[in-house]
Structure 1
Amino acid sequence: MASLRDIRKRIKSVKSSEKITKAMKMVAAAKLRRAQDEVRKSKTYARRMDEVVGRIAKRLELQGQAAHPLLEIHESLKRVEILVLTSERGLCGAFNSNIIRRSQRFLAEKAHEHDEIRVSTLGQKGFEALKREGVKIRKNYTDILNRPSYLKASEIAEELASSYLKDHVDSVYIIYNEFKSAISQQVILKQILPIVSAKSVEDPVDYLYEPSQTELLEHLLPKHLTTQLYQACLESVASEHGARMTAMENATRNAKDVISTLTLQYNRARQTSITKELMEIIGGAEALT
C-alpha cells in the first residue's frame, strides 16, 4: 500500500495538471469564440462567391462558349494532389487522428486509379504522422494555420492553380475538419480543382455584365479558389479550438475524479495509520498496568 507521503505527492501532481488543463480549456474557449466569428463571416462571402461564379460559368456553358481552364476536366487523371489540414500542436482529442485516417483511406482507395498521388500538408501534426507512415510529402506549409490569412491562402491557391494549368496535376483535393460545434467536427474531403461546385447552378439569371462574362470569370476564378481554401483553413482552426476545449474539459473532469479517489485513499490510509498508533499506545499502556 502506498505511503501517505506518496499519496500526497500524487494528489499535488494531479492538482497541478488540473490547473494546466483548466487554463488550456479557458484559452481554447476564448480562441474558439473569435474563430467562430471568422468562420461565420467568411462562410457568407464564400457562398456568395460560389453562386456568382457558378451563375457566370453556367451562362457561358449555355451560350456554347469555351470553359475557363480551371473549370475544364483533364482528359487523363494520372496525377492527383491532396492537401491535408491538421494542427500545429496536439492535445486536441481525435482532431488530427480523424484526418490522418481519412487521408490514409483516400490514398489506399486511389492508389490503383492514378499513376501519382502527391501529398502536401498544412500543419506539423499531419506532416509528422504521414511521414511516419512512409508517405512522401511534396511540401509542408508551416505556420499557416496559427494565424490564417487570405494572403497566405492566395499564395497556396496560386501555386495549386499553376500546377493544374501546367498539367502537373489533374485534380486537387483537400481534407479538413469542418466546424459543427465545440463537440462536433466533420471530416470533409473536397475537390477544389477542377472547380466543380461552381457548375451546380441551375437556370442562371441572365444579367448584363461589364466587363464581359469571360473577363469577369477570368478575374473571379482565382479568387474563388483562394476563398475555398481560406474557408477550409478557418473551419479547421475553429474545429481545432473546439476539439481542444472539449479535450481539456474532459481532462479536467478526469483529474477531479482522480483527486477525489486519491483523497479518499489518503483519508483511509491516514485513518489506518491513526488506528494503528492508537492500538500501539493502548497495547503499551496495558503492558505497564
Structure 2
Amino acid sequence: MASLKALKIRIGSVKSTQKITKAMQMVAAAKLRRAQMAAEAGRPYAERIEQVVASLAARVTISDQTPKLLAGNGHDSVHLLIVTTSERGLAGAFNSNIIRAARRKADELIAAGKTVKILTVGKKGRVLKRFYPKHIAGDIDMSAIKNVAFSDAQKVADEVIQRFDNGEFDVAHLFYAKFQSALVQEPVGQQVIPVPVDPDAAKTAGAVEYEPDEETILADLLPRNLAVQIYRALLENAASEQGSRMTAMDNATRNAGDMINRLTIEYNRTRQAAITTELVEIISGAEAL
C-alpha cells in the first residue's frame, strides 16, 4: 500500500494535470468557433470550382493540347499521397485517423503493384516514415503558420505541380479530415491529379459557350483548383484539430477528476488505518502497564 506522503504527492500531481487539460480545453473551444466558420465558409467555393472543372473536363476531348493536370501523363504506376496533419499532438484521434486512411490507400496501391510516394504536410504526418521509410518523398513544414491563408495552400500546390511536371508521379491523392462536429471528424481521401472526370457532368449541364476555349480556361483553372482543394483541406484540418482537442481535453479533465476521487478515498483509508494502528498500539501499551 502506498504511503500517505506518496498519495498526497500523486493527488497534487493529478490536480496540476487537471488544471492544464482544463485550460487546453477552454483554449481549443475558443479557437474552434473561428476555425469552424472558416472551414464552412470555404466549402461552397471549393465545391463549386470542383463542379466547374468537372463540367469543363467532361466536355474536353483529350489531345496533346489538353492540360496534363486533366489528361494525366498517360501512366498510372506512381502515386503521390499528400497527407495533411497538424503540427501539434494532444488532439485525440484526429491525426491517427488521417494517417490510418493514408496507410490503407498506400497498402492497397502497393498490393496492386503501384509505386507509392508520400508527401507529408504537417509534423504529425512524419510518423509515416516508420511504416514506409523508402516511400517518403518530402515534408512540408507548417510550424510557422498560425492562421492558414490561401497563400500557404498555394505554396503546397506549386510544389506538387512542380513535382508532377518533373515526372516524379502520375497520380496524386489528398488526405485530410472533414469537420462535422467537435465529436466527429471524417477522414477524406480524394484524387486531385489528374482531375477525375465525371461522364455525366456534361449531360446534366446546359449548353454553354466558352470564350476562350475549354483547354485555355482549364490551363488556368486547374492549378487554381488544386490550390483551392488543398486550402479546403487545411481549413477542415484546422477545425477538426480544435474540435478533437477540445473533446480529448474534456475527457482528460473528467478522467483526472475520477482519479483524484479514487486517490482521495485511498488516502483517507490509509490515513484512517494509520490512526487506528496508533490507537491500538497506545491501548495495548496502557493495558501492559
Q: TM-score, normalised by structure 2?
A: 0.89
Is the contact made by 1:82 and 1:118 (CA closer than 8 Å) also made in structure 2? Answer: yes
Report what 1:78 is aligned to.
Answer: 77
Q: How far apart, in 2, do the equivalents of 1:160 and 1:269 lie?
A: 63
Aligned pair in 2 of structure 1 residues 6, 31: CA closer, same or farther (>3 Å)?
same
Report what 2:222 is aligned to.
Answer: 221
Instruction: Kindly provide the CA deviation profile for residues 238-261 of structure 1, in whole angstroms up to 9, marking residues without a partner as x.
Output: 212122111111111111111000
Q: How far apart, in 2, do the equivalents of 1:134 and 1:213 lie?
A: 40
Q: How far apart, in 2, do the equivalents of 1:168 and 1:218 lie?
A: 20
Is the contact made by 1:177 and 1:188 (CA closer than 8 Å) also made in structure 2? Answer: yes
**Counterpart code for 1:19:** K
Is the contact made by 1:54 and 1:200 (CA closer than 8 Å) also made in structure 2? Answer: no
**Counterpart code for 1:268:** R
Q: How far apart, in 1, do the equivalents of 2:209 and 2:78 lie?
A: 39
Q: How far apart, in 1, do the equivalents of 2:108 and 2:246 lie?
A: 33
Unmatched segments (≥5 aa) in structure 2: none
Report what 1:133 is aligned to.
Answer: 131
Stretch moving more, 65-74 or 11-20:
65-74
Map 1:226-241 onto structure 2 (within 5 A). 226-241=227-242
Q: How far apart, in 2, do the equivalents of 1:83 and 1:98 lie?
A: 15
Instruction: Kindly provide the CA deviation profile for residues 41-63 of structure 1, in whole angstroms up to 9, marking residues without a partner as x.
Output: 1101111212222333334459x
Aligned pair in 2 of structure 1 residues 71, 173: CA closer, same or farther (>3 Å)?
same
Q: Percent identity?
A: 43
Q: How far apart, in 1, do the equivalents of 2:268 and 2:29 lie?
A: 36
Per the TM alignment, residue 231 of structure 1 is displaced from its structure 2 partner at its CA by 0.5
Cα RMSD between the aligned structures? 2.5
Report what 1:256 is aligned to.
Answer: 257
**Counterpart code for 1:135:** P
Is the contact made by 1:58 and 1:204 (CA closer than 8 Å) also made in structure 2? Answer: no
Per the TM alignment, residue 165 of structure 1 is displaced from its structure 2 partner at its CA by 3.9
Aligned pair in 2 of structure 1 residues 247, 197: CA closer, same or farther (>3 Å)?
farther
Report what 1:108 is aligned to.
Answer: 107
Q: How far apart, in 2, do the equivalents of 1:95 and 1:278 lie?
A: 55
Stretch moving more, 261-270 or 207-216:
207-216
Aligned pair in 2 of structure 1 residues 146, 200: CA closer, same or farther (>3 Å)?
farther
Q: How far apart, in 2, do the equivalents of 1:138 and 1:147 lie?
A: 26
Aligned pair in 2 of structure 1 residues 183, 70: CA closer, same or farther (>3 Å)?
same
Q: Secondary structure at the match of 1:106?
A: helix
Is the contact made by 2:109 and 2:115 (CA closer than 8 Å) also made in structure 1? Answer: no
**Counterpart code for 1:276:** T
Stretch moving more, 72-81 or 111-120:
111-120
Q: How far apart, in 2, do the equivalents of 1:270 and 1:50 lie?
A: 68
Per the TM alignment, residue 9 of structure 1 is displaced from its structure 2 partner at its CA by 0.6
Map 1:52-201 onto structure 2 (within 5 A). 52-61=52-61, 67-114=66-113, 116-127=115-126, 129-136=127-134, 137-143=136-142, 146-196=146-196, 201=201
Q: TM-score, normalised by structure 1?
A: 0.89
Q: Secondary structure at the match of 1:147?
A: coil
Is the contact made by 2:58 and 2:197 (CA closer than 8 Å) also made in structure 1? Answer: no
Aligned pair in 2 of structure 1 residues 258, 28: CA closer, same or farther (>3 Å)?
same
Q: Secondary structure at the match of 1:111?
A: helix
Q: How far apart, in 2, do the equivalents of 1:257 and 1:283 lie?
A: 39
